Amino acid sequence: MKKFLALLLALSMILALCACGNTAPAATEAPAATEAPSATEAPAEEKVPDATSLVSPNFIDPIKDWGKYDELIAQIKAETDFAKRTELMHQAEDILMANNCVIPIYYYNDIYMQKDYVDGVFSNLFGFKYFMFANMSNGAKTLRINLASEPDFLDPALNSSVDGACLAVNSFSGLYAYNDEGHTVPACATGYTVSDDGLTYTVTLRDGLKWSDGSDLTAKDFEYSWKRVAADATAADYAYMLNGFAGFPNDLAVKAVDDTTLEFTLVAPCAYMEDLMAFPAFYPVKQEAVESYADWQTSPGGWCQEAGFVSNGAYVCTGWNHDTSMTYEKNPYWYDADKVTVEKLEFMLSADDTAIYAAYNAGDVDFIDTVPTDEIAALLDNPEFHIIDNLGTYYVAFNAKSKIFEGKTPEQAACMREAFTILIDREYICENIGQTGQVAANAFIPLGMADGNGGVFKTEPVEQGYYDPYAINNDPEGVTARAVELLKAAGYKFGEDGKLSAETPIQLEYLTNTTSAHIAIAESIQQDLAAVGIELTIQQQDWNVFLQERKQGNFDFAREGWLADFNDPINMLEMWTTDSGNNDCQFGR
């Protein structure tokens, strides 16, 4: 009903705008030639606004001029004045938001369900879930889990999904890790020193580190692994995380001084180096295992696409029934193995949240991190249902190279996308689909993220964003009128019903994976856009296929989400550089 009333208000307003400004004379009066057109004259044409006048002053062509954004990100990463760096990051977000390819919906929190006999599992702000310190009061030694369906990559250098990161943090170990309070702590390292200029790090590794096959793990393994991530040949999505190292990409300044000493050099001081050392892309992989795969040079992740691959974390993958289940068993060679009491992790591979929830209720799994949307309201007071903080943004995105923008100037395409942006009812999505206290978003960098200079980048959800995320409900007439104005500036025509003319339709496909909440959000957006006649069809894809289609730019409009990898805005900004493997919008390409 809320959406229907908004549509009626908008329709009446648009019809008023389209009405002729002069009234017809009475039948008995002779019309004055200077006061009204004759019956055969056409009414004055409506003045169409110029798209250039409607875009933000921060707008740049997201394809041809995106090198300017790349240069700004490079400047930020080289900036040693942290106050200036924060200012530059605000400028970068201004540019990112000005083209309207990225459309924030809400700021994330996370949910999961855990049986009351399970304790010791923890998650951090970035969505990593740690199972190695779990305890089970029912006496079981196996923890049964669902995180997602078939993982895309298990190679920590190549993974870019949250479920893959969760598997990585439980089966590999970096120099640093996160504890249950969300703080970085030494893992394979015991500590480090930094040169006076903040550029050269010397890290000391634990003595006696081992791979899961019992062989020695040394600083040389970290040198190999970091250089592998950075190298062009690996084509790692996260390679850009190492572009702050001297010698990036193919001559990275990292070296093993001896078996327990790793040295690396940066081009500028880095305030979040411990977070990088705790991030999966910086985890070690064994060179012999990687290069024993027959096609390792052309398929760099092939070495760990079956069970039995070598790792160095708390668990090792011992069974993998593709698309059905995975089994991980305790790694006796892990440096902290004596603290691991759960001997086995069994993963149910599924994205069907109805089936997952049924399995949980039947006692077949102990931990799940999704439930059907229509079950959430009834679970809010259930002690097994947990809502935890995340640092990230749920958003939808356009492919800047989509054919739907053919024939449009860059400014017209931006106006078109802005119309989509403001028509979406975020309040409805948060309250009726999310249901767990999500905050409507109007900027890509999430609320509460540190600013890298001892403060917070954004603290207020309306005033510090790029538009009022509640305006479609507070002022439906004004928002709809603005959307129509933007679409007209983009070259679209409207009929007397206030909807797009058949002469200039907008028909496009929205890509999403199959979870019920994502589908419900897609359907809500579909309804919102239909208010002005935009025809949106929804295509659902399996998780692996969905990830690859987005990366390869095989979409018009898609659901997206980004949980920060560490608590600094640069993480939300550098992912959009031209060469980033996470640049799904295809900026600069």
Exposure string of 314-345, with b = 16+ CB inside 10 Å and e = fewer, is bbbbeebeeeeebbbbbbebbbeeeebebebb
Q: pLDDT per residue over 541-588, tens digit each?
A: 999 999 999 999 999 999 999 999 999 999 999 999 999 999 999 999
Residue 450 DSSP label: B
Nearest to 161 by CA among 132, 184, 127: 127
pLDDT of residue 44: 53
How many CA atoms lie less than 13 Å away from 85 in the CB half-sphere?
22
The one-letter code for the residue type at 392 is G
3-state secondary structure of 427: helix
Question: Does 426 have pLDDT greater than 80?
Answer: yes
How far apart, in Å, are the Cα atoms of 262 and each of 223, 245, 253, 394, 422?
A: 7, 14, 11, 37, 50
Across residues 429-456, what is the average pLDDT? 96
- Fold topology of 124-370: D-Maltodextrin-Binding Protein; domain 2 (3.40.190)
Nearest to 579 by CA among 242, 124, 283: 242
pLDDT of residue 461: 87
**What is the chain's alpha carbon radius of gyration, rounded to the nearest angstrom?**
27
Question: Does 1 have pLDDT greater than 50?
Answer: no
Q: pLDDT per residue over 351-409, tens digit each?
A: 999 999 999 999 999 999 999 999 999 999 999 999 999 999 999 999 999 999 999 99
Q: What angle do CA 445, 522, 563 make, to 5 degrees?
A: 25
What are the tokens at 69? 């954004």
Q: Which CATH superfamily is domain 54-108+388-576 in?
A: Dipeptide-binding Protein; Domain 3 (3.10.105.10)
Q: pLDDT per residue over 493-503, tens digit each?
A: 999 999 999 99
pLDDT of residue 45: 63
Across residues 80-99, what is the average pLDDT? 97
**Is the model more confident about 9 or about 67?**
67
- State residue 105 phi and psi, 5-degree precision: -110, -55
Judging by beta carbons within 10 Å of its beta carbon (0-12, 13-18, 19+), is residue 137 exposed, middle or buried? exposed
Question: Does 169 have pLDDT greater than 90?
Answer: yes
Residues 6+ apart with CB under 8 A from 192: 201, 202, 203, 204
pLDDT of residue 27: 34
Across residues 514-532, what is the average pLDDT? 97
What are the tokens at 187? 């893992």
pLDDT of residue 46: 74
The residues facing 483 across adjacent strands are none
The one-letter code for the residue type at 7 is L
Q: Within the chain, how many helices (H) and strands (E) appear?
A: 17, 21
Residue 191 DSSP label: E
Q: pLDDT per residue over 120-163, tens digit each?
A: 999 999 999 999 999 999 999 999 999 999 999 999 999 999 99
Question: Does 11 have pLDDT greater than 50?
Answer: no
Where are the domains positioned within the chain? 54-108+388-576, 124-370
Q: pLDDT per residue over 180-210, tens digit each?
A: 999 999 999 999 999 999 999 999 999 999 9
Q: What CA–CA distance (Å, rounded) separates 194 from 206?
A: 18
Q: Chain-wide mean pLDDT for the chain?
A: 92
Instruction: Decide whether 54-108+388-576 matches 124-370 in CATH topology.
Output: no
Q: How large a percentage of the chain has pLDDT more than 90?
A: 90
